[in-house]
Amino acid sequence: MCDEKYTVDAWYEMMATAFKHGVNFFDNAEAYGMGQAEELMGGAIKKGIADGLWIREDLVISTKMFLGANDFSTSGPNAVGLSRKHIVEGTKASLKRLELDYVDVIFCHHPDPHTPIEETVRAMNYVIAKGWAFYWGTSEWLASDIREACEIADRLGLIRPVVEQPQYNLFVRTKVDVEYLDLYKKYGLGITTWSPLAFGTLTGKYSAGRPVGSRFTTAAFKDGPLAEGFDGRVEMADKLKPIAAELGCSLAQLSIAWCVSNEKVSTVLVGASRPSQLEENLKALDVVSKMTLEVKEKIDAIASFVPTPSTMDHFALLRNRHL
């Protein structure tokens, strides 16, 4: 499925804006836009090289395997998951869409309880051995599964996962702030976090309701796990606005800066629908130095954090229907 409103030129403009502000890491996944996101990024990378803005070595490109590039709700059992078959076939297909010889990092987009972790570890090492990626990592995995993957890699003399990509924001903290602590110390695990704005609830745009066309008016966000706690989060976001005002920044910039200020976080992934929005979000870097202990205490008094044990990612059981 291809959406014609997205173009290589628009994608390039966004990447070029980010690059000129010091951003060199660009994340993707086989499932994004059913493969279209990889095609557009690949075109943008080529355009940047042709224009002399960057060379391939300047960029850190990642993609993720699990959901496939077709409709995962109807795809067959071999088109999704973390089996050796899908990892190998999916990686080759992603590189073809990206028009790249390799990506820098390849992630297991979700955990897969239907595939032995050892099979996934071996498959990811095969991908690295073939020169299709330099490093591999996980996304939304439980700490216990990451630990098992590292132990298996050590036992077999293979390459461990070096990075995890979890959701992390003022409302979702348990994995990054609690459950992964031993992994940072023992394995030097890196963290590239996503959704610093909690699906937009930390922008303040939902204060007066759900704007037409916004994320929380879509079917996926009206009901189900992605909609849980929406009203409470909007209420807390409104209470955080005075703190942002005191710091001379927007609520979005405050929220992103809070994530960046965590020394355990390697990268904060941000998205934008237009270059001007991206530039506004990147101004959060000027706010990081203002994230003092006093400011964080004020934030915590509103967005109070109570650790709750993490559960298996809801996509993990996608292949249950084939059993």
Catalytic residues: 32
| Tokens 């297909």 found at | 93
Question: CB atoms < 10 A from the CB of 176, how many?
Answer: 21
Q: Which residues pair with 217 in a beta bridge?
A: none
Dist. CA 180–CA 174, nearest whole Å: 9
Dist. CA 63–CA 27, nearest whole Å: 6
Round to the nearest angstrom and report the end-to-end CA distance of the chain: 28
Q: Which two tokens stand for residue 114?
A: 């239907």
Burial zone of 5 (CB within 10 Å; 0-12 exposed, 13-18 middle, 19+ buried): exposed
Question: CB atoms < 10 A from the CB of 146, how many?
Answer: 24
CA angle 73, 78, 82 (to 5 degrees): 95
Backbone angles phi, psi at 41, to 5 degrees: -65, -40
Helix (H) or strand (E) holding 17: helix 8-20
Q: What SS3 state is found at 207?
A: coil
Q: What is the DSSP string of 218-258?
A: SHHHHSSGGGTTHHHHHHHHHHHHHHHHHHTS-HHHHHHHH
Report how far apart, in Å, the C-alpha atoms of 51 and of each of 54, 88, 131 are. 8, 32, 27
| Backbone conformation region of residue 124, classed left if phi is above 0, alpha if psi is from -120 to 50, else beta | alpha
Q: Which residues pair with 267 in a beta bridge?
A: 192
